[in-house]
Structure 1
Amino acid sequence: MPRTQKAALATVAVGLIVLGIKLLAWWVTGSIALFSDALESTINVVAAIAVFVALRVAAMPADDNHPYGHQKAEYLSAVFEGVLVVIAALLILREAYYGLLSPEPLTAPALGLAINGAASVLNALWAVLLLRWGRAWRSPALVADGRHILTDVFTSIGVIAGIILATATGQDWIDPALAALVALNILWTGWKMVREATGALMDELPDPGLIEDVTRIIRNHASGAQEAHDLKIRVAGAMTFIDFHLILDGQMSVQDSHDICDRLEQALKEAFDGKASIQIHVEPDHKAKNEGVVGL
C-alpha cells in the first residue's frame, strides 16, 4: 500500500480515538461547545475515509477512459472535505444558538478541559505530520486533511478558552457564544479549502514559484535550442503536466532535435521525482516569437 494511503488510513484511526475522547469530555461537562467540538471530529472521521478512497482511486494507472490518469480524484476529496467543514460549522452554529437561548452551568469543567486538551494535542501532532507528508509527497488530499484537522485544533483551543472564561465569571452564555465565533472561523476555512480544490480541478495557473522553477530548468538544459514559448503547466495530484514549444534551427537533423528534447525531458522529470508528463512541440526558427518567452 502506498505511503499516502497508509497515512490516510491511520488518520481514520486517529480520528476515531480523538472522537471518543471528545465525546467523553462532553459527557463529563455537558458543554455545548465541547459537544460542537466532538461534532466536528465526527466530520473528520468521515472526511478521512473519503481521503483514503480518493487516494486509492488517484493511484490507479491511466487507462483507455482516463489517459491522463486518475490524480484529480484527490481534488474531489478536498472539495468534499471542505463541504463537510462548512456543514460542521453550520451544525455548531445551530447548537450555539439554542445554547444562547437557554444557557446552562457546566459540570466538572476542569476534568472536561483536561480530557479535551489531550485530544487536541493528539490532533495537533497528527495535523502537523499530515501537512508535512502531504507537501513532501505532493498530495493535495493529505494537505487538505491536515488543514481540516488543524481547524479542529483551533476549535478546541477556542472551546477551552470559553469554558475557562465561563467558569471563572459564572457567565454561562459565554460557552455557546464562543462556540458560534469558532464556527464562523471554520466556515471561512472550509470556503478556502473548496476554493483551492475547485481551482485545481479547473486547471488554474499554478504557483508562480513552480513556473519559475520549470522556466529555469528549460533555460539551463536546452543548449542548442533558440527559444521556448507557449509554456503551459498544470498540476493534478502528484503529477505535473508541462508542455511548450521549442524553437530550433530549421536545418537541424531530427536526431539532434530529439537529443535536445530528451535532455529537457530527463531534467524536468528528475526535478519532479519522475512524476511529470512532458510534451515538447518542436518548431523551426522562423516560428520564434521573441516576446514573453524563455530566451535560450
Structure 2
Amino acid sequence: MKAAAVWLTPQRLLLVSVVVALVTIGLKTGAWWLTDSVGLLSDAMESLVNLASAIFGLMMVTIATRPADEDHPYGHHKAEYFSSGFEGILIIVAGLGILWTAGHRLRDPQPIEQVGLGLALSVVSSALNGLLAWVMFRAAREHRSLALEADARHLVTDVWTSAGVVAGIALVSLSGWLWLDAVVAMAVALNILKEGAHLVWRSSQGLMDVSVEPEVLTQIQQVLDGFAHQRGETAIIRFDHLNTRKAGQRRFVDVHMHMPAGWTLGRAAALRTSVEQALMSAVPGLRATIQLLPSDVEAHFDDPRDLK
C-alpha cells in the first residue's frame, strides 16, 4: 500500500487524468454523434472541461513541488489553489454553455437515434471516470493535495452527470417526450454550476490563509499540552499566541513558548527543538515557528498603530 502511495503522486495521477479525459471525450462525442442527444452533448462538453482542468492542474502541481527560493521563502504550495479555482471557473463556463444549448433544444426538440450504442459508450466513459476519481480521492488524502481533490470532485460530478443523462435518454425512449432530453441537460448544467461555485469558493479560502483543519489543530494542541509544565500555581513551561495556516500540502504553526528567565539559551533552544520535532512528527508536512520568551514577558499584538 505504501509503495502504491509513493507511485501515485499528484503529477502522475493528473497525467493519467489527461489521458482518461481524451478517451472519454472520444467516447462521449461518439455517443452524441450517434444519438444527436443534447444531454449527451452536454456530457461531452464537460469532458472537455475535464481535459483542460487536468492539464492546468498538472502544471500547477508541478510548480507547487518546487523548493522554496529567495522570492518564495515559504515555497510554492499555494499554486494548487489556482488549479482548483481555474477548474471551478471552467466548470461554470461549461454549465452556462450547456444551459444555452439545452434552451435551444427545448424550443425545438429532436428525435434521439441509436440509443443503445450511444448509452453504452456513455456508461463506459463514466466507469473510467468513476474509477479514476476513487483513486484520486485516496491519493488526495495521502498527499493533502487540493488539486487532486478538485479533479476528483469534478470527475464525480461527471459521473453523476452521465448517470442523469442516461436516465433521461432512457425515459425519452420509453415515453416519447422529446423535450425531456433538454430538461435533463438543464438539470445537469445546474449541478455543474453548483460544483464549480464550490471549487471557486474553496480555492479563494485557501488563498486567504485560512487556519488548519480542526482535527489538525487538536493534534497540535495535544503536543503542546504534553510539554506544558506547572510547579504548584506557577507555570514553568506554557504556550500562547497560537496561530496556524495552511498552504496547499503544507501546514504552518506559530506559537510563543514561555520558560523561566534563568534558563540558559542552550537549554531553551534544546527544548524548542524537541517541541518542533514532536509537532512535525504528529502532523506530516507541518512547519513550526516557535518564539522563546521568559515567563514574565508577554507579547503584544494588534497595536492600534498597526491597524491604520
Name the TM-score class by shorter chain.
over 0.9
User: Secondary structure, in 3 states, of the residue corresponding to 2:99?
Assistant: helix
Q: 1:221 to 1:17 in 2, by over 3 A?
A: farther
Matched, 1:59 2:65: yes
CA distance in 2, matches of 1:2, 1:136: 10
User: Secondary structure, in 3 states, of the residue corresponding to 1:154?
Assistant: helix
Matched, 1:163 2:169: yes
CA distance in 2, matches of 1:183, 1:196: 20
CA distance in 2, matches of 1:50, 1:222: 46
Tell me which residue corresponds to 2:250.
Answer: 239
User: Secondary structure, in 3 states, of the residue corresponding to 1:267?
Assistant: helix
1:256 is matched with which residue: 244, 249, 267?
267
CA distance in 2, matches of 1:42, 1:35: 11
Tell me which residue corresponds to 1:271.
Answer: 282
What whole-Å deviation, never above 9, does each CA across 1:8-64 have from its counterpart, x for those lacking one? 111101111111111111111110000110000001000000000001111111111
Say if 1:231 and 1:243, in contact at 8 Å, map to a contact too. yes
User: Secondary structure, in 3 states, of the residue corresponding to 1:13?
Assistant: helix
1:281 is matched with which residue: 291, 303, 307?
291
CA distance in 2, matches of 1:151, 1:60: 31
1:94-133 equivalent positions in 2, closer than 5 A:
94-133=100-139
Structure 2: which 5+ residue stretches go unaligned? 1-6, 231-235, 300-308
CA distance in 1, matches of 2:17, 2:85: 18
CA distance in 1, matches of 2:238, 2:109: 70
CA distance in 2, matches of 1:92, 1:36: 5
Q: 1:2 to 1:65 in 2, by over 3 A?
A: farther
Tell me which residue corresponds to 2:185.
Answer: 179
Tell me which residue corresponds to 1:227.
Answer: 238
Say if 1:221 and 1:267, in contact at 8 Å, map to a contact too. no
The Cα shift of 1:210 comes to 1.6
Tell me which residue corresponds to 1:12.
Answer: 18
Matched, 1:140 2:146: yes
Q: Is 264-273 or 172-181 further displaced after alignment?
A: 264-273
CA distance in 1, matches of 2:191, 2:277: 45
Q: Is 52-61 or 262-271 further displaced after alignment?
A: 262-271
Specify the code of the residue in structure 1 equivalent to 2:69: D
Q: TM-score, normalised by structure 1?
A: 0.94
The Cα shift of 1:192 comes to 0.8
Q: Is 252-261 or 120-129 further displaced after alignment?
A: 252-261
Tell me which residue corresponds to 2:303.
Answer: none
Say if 1:222 and 1:263, in contact at 8 Å, map to a contact too. no
Matched, 1:196 2:202: yes
Say if 1:268 and 1:276, in contact at 8 Å, map to a contact too. yes
Q: 1:230 to 1:186 in 2, by over 3 A?
A: same
Say if 1:200 and 1:235, in contact at 8 Å, map to a contact too. yes
User: Secondary structure, in 3 states, of the residue corresponding to 1:282?
Assistant: strand
Matched, 1:84 2:90: yes
Count of residues in correspondence between the two structures: 288
Tell me which residue corresponds to 2:40.
Answer: 34
What whole-Å deviation, never above 9, does each CA across 1:255-281 have from its counterpart, x for those lacking one? 2211111111111112233x2221001
Q: Calculate percent identity across the aligned residue pairs.
A: 38
Specify the code of the residue in structure 1 equivalent to 2:38: I
Matched, 1:218 2:220: no
CA distance in 2, matches of 1:219, 1:245: 13
User: Secondary structure, in 3 states, of the residue corresponding to 2:292?
Assistant: strand
User: Secondary structure, in 3 states, of the residue corresponding to 1:287?
Assistant: coil
Say if 1:227 and 1:288, in contact at 8 Å, map to a contact too. no
User: Secondary structure, in 3 states, of the residue corresponding to 2:296?
Assistant: helix
